[in-house]
Amino acid sequence: MVSAKKIKAAAIVALCMSAAVASAQTPEEVRARCRAENRPCVGLVLSGGGARGFAHVGVIKVLEEMGIRVDVIAGTSMGAMVGGAYAAGFSYEQLESTVLGVDWDQMLAPRPDRAILPFRRKLDDYKSLPSSGIEIGADGVPTLPDSFVPSEELALFLNEKTGTVSMIEDLARLSVPFASTATDLVSGERVVMQKDCTLGQAMRASMSLPGVFAPLPYHRKLLVDGGLVDNLPVELARSMGAEVLIVVNVGTPLSKRSELNSVVGVMAQMVNLLTEQNVRESLASLTDEDVLITPDLEGFTSADLKRSADIIKRGEEAARKSQAALLKFARPRAEFLAWNETRMRPFADEDARKVHRLSDIRVASRRRSAVAPERVLNVADISADKPVTNAELDDASRRVWAEGNFETITYRFDPGPNGTEVLVFEPREKRRGYSSVRLGGSVQTNFEADNSFNLLFSHSWNLLNDWGAEWRNEIQVGEERRFTSEFYQPLGAGSPWFIQPKVEYAREPFDVYEYGDPVERRRNETLLVDFMLGREIDRLGFAGASLGWIRTKSSQEVGVEGTSDKFSSWYLGGEFLYDTLDNINFPTRGVRFSALGRLTNDTSGNEGGDEYYSVDALVPYSVGRWTLTFSGEVGRSTVSSAFSLGGAKRLAGSAYGRWTGSRMQYGRLSLAREISGTFDAIKQPVWIGAAAEAGRAWNPNAPKTSESSDDDWHYAGSVYVGIDSLIGPLFFSYGRTFGDESAFFFLWGRRD
């Protein structure tokens, strides 16, 4: 049993610790306190190492079991994440659950979840346009993105985990004095993150691996990963007052020559060379009184983020092997428990702090702001009339970020009246009038004569006024040629109503078949001028009404001289889109329904008539890794041969554009299974599936000698492998259209 005398002594230690946390602890004060307790000042040094840094959590578990009090902590990169959380007051259990609970797919996603994208960004998916592109500066010079991974999810994660101590801007005031290292990207100098910064900023700066996460702007500096200059901050811990050190090194060793066989491998080696040099200096400065723990992480890389449980275990095993050396730092159990309880006090009621009573909601003002605060508040859709949780605020920040006009958007709380809080959104927006260039397209081949490609060039000018106008121009070359210019103008800051004038010219060739062989090559040309008044439906889609003018022409390119089909007319139109699909290429949940209709006053007697409509739907249903998907489409056009069937995903087996017409009906049922989790070597989502299709496309007024007049149904079946790759969807399939042809197909992008 613990004696009453020991408990009383422990209580006195706890009271002293509580008083110390209220103010910054200087190195001299830290040493003086340790001398008063007749023990050396213990520093914990945690190195960087990416996912290998999860081993630090296992080491901390053993330190707590042994009753080792840590007086100062210094960390770099992942060591800053783990060490900073422990210094702030995280228990070991909270550390472990946080690491194991991170959704790394979401953290490292190149864009927000599709469900929260505004409809215009959802429509880009159907053009195979990437979420980001090359930005054009005011001087006309193109610039590449500053990182592969957006920083929003990392910022929200740190905001949530450090929010309890976010008011502390001197990290020597944490439960355990803490500091991390970062690198000034301009000067290459080491920057110590402790004074005049929050814990979230210190973690964020030290974690900013160049190229992965964007540099952190901080006091006119650009900060990146501290591992480049000080991956094992031994001297930093000593400068904070430490007299003896517990050092945990999880850095990635240099690769062997046989492993340097790719650009990625060479670049990683260059970073590791810089890191290894400064680590050797730090290791050389250790004394016999210090304890070095080097977990056995053979087989683990810095990118093995989803193997956190195994890496934590390796850290625990390494610490247990060093227990004999660590024993000299252990304190009496009662004393340690009292200290540890005080250390964890800031996060003891963490769950209660996740619910907030608000008195006001504001947007932090910025000079030369390009986005009206009303837009941020309307999209965030948070009310001060009821309590709000951190999870709700994270979702609100993601919705605003998904607009595409912000680098990051986080939030903080200021004190409000009567125990309430003022919620302050802090957006870091892109500059007014920024523009970007993106490239998309598609390639399809049956490895024989049927080959087609399209390349899409898209340029957007954004934030052209306070209401968030955007002017976009697109040029597509290849099999289908198109030029589009549209101006999107919301009718107020944050208003769901918008107007959109548009001019479009499109030219598409198609073949006319007789007895199964192409006998004629024709092309459709369309010139359209459209003015739409529309309303966004809360990120689910939009509805709009249009007034416009259209001119169409179908003429011959190759073959026996034939007829020309053309008309021009004013029209009234309507358009509707409802799209909640999680992924348009490999959907597992949600639904898509779209409809477009136009009524013209054409009197030229063209083949297509005077009505145009197109309706399509797609519904997936998933059970585990299996997904059953139904899609269908019907259409009628004012132009002969405006619709086509055939190709990799439209009656597979037949040639692309095998059947064309001014009328079309089509349905597809597919069953697919995601298999990427089956093979450790496969990192991208991979699907295998089979599909059954039925469809017809025809021209009612075409000559009976032409297959275009045939309104018979055609049926097809196919099997395929699909990869949701970083460069877009890839499909390898074999299909057969019964009564026609069979073929192997390769498809990159979308050719619906």
> Would you please indicate which residues are annotated as catalytic (active-site) residues?
77, 225
315 token code pair: 């850290």
In whole angstroms, give the CA distance from residue 643 to residue 657.
Answer: 9
Helix or strand run (H / E) with residue 486: strand 481-490
In whole angstroms, give the CA distance from residue 469 to residue 490.
Answer: 6
Q: How many Cβ atoms sit within 10 Å of the Cβ of residue 80?
A: 34
Q: How many Cβ atoms sit within 10 Å of the Cβ of residue 229?
A: 21
CA angle 620/458/380 to nearest 5° reads 60
Q: How many Cβ atoms sit within 10 Å of the Cβ of residue 652?
A: 29
Q: How many Cβ atoms sit within 10 Å of the Cβ of residue 306?
A: 11
In whole angstroms, give the CA distance from residue 397 to residue 173.
Answer: 29
Q: How many Cβ atoms sit within 10 Å of the Cβ of residue 258?
A: 6
* Distances in whole angstroms, Cα of residue 49 to Cα of each of 45, 247, 351, 368, 370: 13, 14, 31, 39, 39
How many CA atoms, within 13 angstroms, populate the side-chain half-sphere of residue 168? Answer: 27
Give the 3-state DSSP-derived string for 27-73, with helices as H, strands as E and coil as C.
Answer: HHHHHHHHHHCCCCCEEEEECCCHHHHHHHHHHHHHHHHHCECCCEE
Q: How remote is the C-alpha of 282 from its chain's centroid?
A: 36
In whole angstroms, give the CA distance from residue 495 to residue 535.
Answer: 9
State the Cα torsion 325-328-331-336 to the nearest 10°. Answer: -30
Give the 3-state DSSP-derived string for 461-477, with helices as H, strands as E and coil as C.
Answer: ECCCCCCCCEEEEEEEE
Amino acid at 209: L
In whole angstroms, give the CA distance from residue 247 to residue 251.
Answer: 12
How many CA atoms, within 13 angstroms, populate the side-chain half-sphere of residue 239? Answer: 11
In 3D space, the residue among 23, 180, 3, 5 whose CA is nearest the CA of residue 86 turns out to be: 180
In whole angstroms, give the CA distance from residue 483 to residue 491.
Answer: 26
Non-local (6+) Cβ contacts of 123 within 8 A are 577
653, 742 contact by CB (below 8 A): yes
75, 82 contact by CB (below 8 A): yes
In 3D space, the residue among 715, 608, 693, 647 whose CA is nearest the CA of residue 511 turns out to be: 647
In whole angstroms, give the CA distance from residue 529 to residue 571.
Answer: 10
509, 491 contact by CB (below 8 A): no
582, 589 contact by CB (below 8 A): yes
CA angle 13/16/19 to nearest 5° reads 150
Q: How remote is the C-alpha of 632 from its chain's centroid?
A: 30
* Distances in whole angstroms, Cα of residue 54 to Cα of each of 155, 193, 228, 303: 19, 21, 19, 11
* Distances in whole angstroms, Cα of residue 535 to Cα of each of 107, 119, 462, 548, 593: 32, 10, 19, 18, 16
Non-local (6+) Cβ contacts of 336 within 8 A are 67, 68, 69, 330
SS3 content of the chain, % helix, strand, coil (to 5): 30, 35, 35
Non-local (6+) Cβ contacts of 529 within 8 A are 502, 503, 548, 549, 550
In whole angstroms, give the CA distance from residue 652 to residue 714.
Answer: 11
